[in-house]
Amino acid sequence: MASEKSFKLTYATMFNPPEELHQHFEAALAQIKTEMGQEHGMIIDGRECKAGSTFEDRSPINTDWVLGKFQNGDTQTAADAIAAARRAFPAWGARPWQERVALLRKAADLIDERIFKIGAVISLEVGKNRTEALGDAAETSDLIRYACDQITANNGFIHEMGHDPLQGFKATNYSVLKPYGVWLIVSPFNFPSALTGGPAGAALAAGNTVVIKPASDTPWTSRLLAECFRDAGLPDGVCNYVTGPGSTLGQALIDNPDVDGITFTGSYAVGMHIFRSFAQGPYVRPTVLEMGGKNPTIVSRNADIEEAAVGIVRSAFGLQGQKCSACSRVFIEKPIYQQVLSRMVEMTKKLGIGDPTLRENYLGPVVNKNSYKEYQEYIDEMNQAGARFLTGGKILTDGDMAKGYFCAPTIAVDLPLDHHLWKKEMFLPITTVTQVDSLEEAMGYANDVAYGLTSGFYGSLDEAKWFFDNIQAGVNYVNRPQGATTGAWPGFQPFGGWKGSGSSGKNAGGLYYVQLYMHEQIQTLIQKA
Ligand SMILES: NC(=O)c1ccc[n+]([C@@H]2O[C@H](COP(=O)([O-])OP(=O)(O)OC[C@H]3O[C@@H](n4cnc5c(N)ncnc54)[C@H](O)[C@@H]3O)[C@@H](O)[C@H]2O)c1
Ligand SMILES: N[C@@H](CCC=O)C(=O)O
Phi, psi of 337, deg, nearest 5: -55, -55
Q: Take atom 5 of ligand 1 and give the residue whose Cα is closest.
A: 324
> How far is ligand 2, taken at its centre, from the CA of residue 305, in Å?
24
What digits encode the pLDDT tens for the residues 455-495?
A: 999 999 999 999 999 999 999 999 999 999 999 999 999 99
Picking from 197, 223, 192, the residue whose alpha carbon sits closest to that of residue 210 is 197
Task: Please work out whether the CB of residue 190 comes within 6 Å of at least one atom of ligand 2.
Answer: yes
Per-residue pLDDT tens over the stretch 339-370: 999 999 999 999 999 999 999 999 999 999 99
Using the mean position of ligand 2's atoms as its centre, give its distance from the Cα of residue 490 in Å.
11
Q: State mean pLDDT over 511-524.
A: 98
Q: Between helices 219-231 and 194-205, what is the axis angle to 10°? A: 30
Contact (Cβ atoms closer than 8 angstroms) between residue 381 and residue 415: no
Say how many CA atoms lie within 13 Å of 443 toward its Cβ: 14
- Residues in a beta bridge with 447: none
Contact 312, 483 (CB under 8 A): no
Distance CA 215, CA 188 (A): 5
Beta strands in 415-487 (DSSP E): 430-436, 451-452, 454-458, 475-478
Task: Tell me the Ramachandran region of residue 329: left when phi exceeds 0, alpha when psi lies from -120 to 50, beta otherwise.
Answer: beta
pLDDT surpassing 90 at residue 3: no
Confidence at residue 2, expressed as pLDDT on a 0 to 100 scale: 40
75: number of Cβ within 10 Å? 15
Measured in residues, the chain has a length of 529
Per-residue confidence (pLDDT) for residue 1, from 0 to 100: 39
Nearest to residue 394, comparing CAs of 413, 379, 373? 379
- Is residue 217 scored above 50 in pLDDT? yes
Pocket of ligand 1 (CB under 6 A): 186-191, 195, 213-216, 246-247, 250-251, 254, 265-267, 270, 273-274, 290-293, 324, 425, 427, 453, 495, 497, 501-502
Q: Tell me which fold the domain 295-488 belongs to.
A: Aldehyde Dehydrogenase; Chain A, domain 2 (3.40.309)
User: Is 307 tagged catalytic?
Assistant: no
Please give the model's pTM, rounded to 2 decimal places. 0.97
Q: Give nearest CA residue, ligand 1 atom 2.
A: 290
As a whole number of angstroms, the distance between CA 214 and CA 223 comes to 9
pLDDT digits (tens, 9 = 90+) for 254-309: 999 999 999 999 999 999 999 999 999 989 999 999 999 999 999 999 999 999 99
The tens digit of pLDDT for each residue in 370-426 reads 999 999 999 999 999 999 999 999 999 999 999 999 999 999 999 999 999 999 999
- Domain ranges in the chain are 19-291+506-524, 295-488
CA–chain centroid gap for 424, Å, is: 19
Q: Which atom of ligand 1 is nearest to the CA of 186?
A: 39
Tell me the pLDDT tens digit for each residue of 39-78.
Answer: 999 999 999 999 999 999 999 999 999 999 999 999 999 9
What's the pLDDT score for residue 6?
82
At 320, the pLDDT band (50, 70, 90 cuts) reads very high
CA distances from 8 to 13, 25, 29, 46 (A): 7, 16, 21, 33
Selection from 351, 362, 372 nearest residue 428 by Cα = 372
Start-to-end CA distance of the chain, whole Å, equals: 64
C-alpha 187 to ligand 1 mean position (Å): 6
* Active-site residue, from 290, 333, 425, 463: 290
Average predicted confidence (pLDDT) for the chain:
97
CA 157 and chain centroid, separation: 26
What are the φ/ψ torsions at residue 144 (nearest 5 degrees)?
-65, -45
**Average of pLDDT values for 330-336?**
98
Residue-wise pLDDT for 77-134, tens only, equals: 999 999 999 999 999 999 999 999 999 999 999 999 999 999 999 999 999 999 999 9
Q: What percent of the chain has pLDDT over 70?
A: 99
| 8-state DSSP, 247 | I
- pLDDT exceeds 90 at position 523: yes
Closest CA to 473 of 303, 324, 316, 309: 324
19-291+506-524 and 295-488 agree in CATH topology: no
Task: State the CATH architecture for 19-291+506-524.
Answer: 3-Layer(aba) Sandwich (3.40)
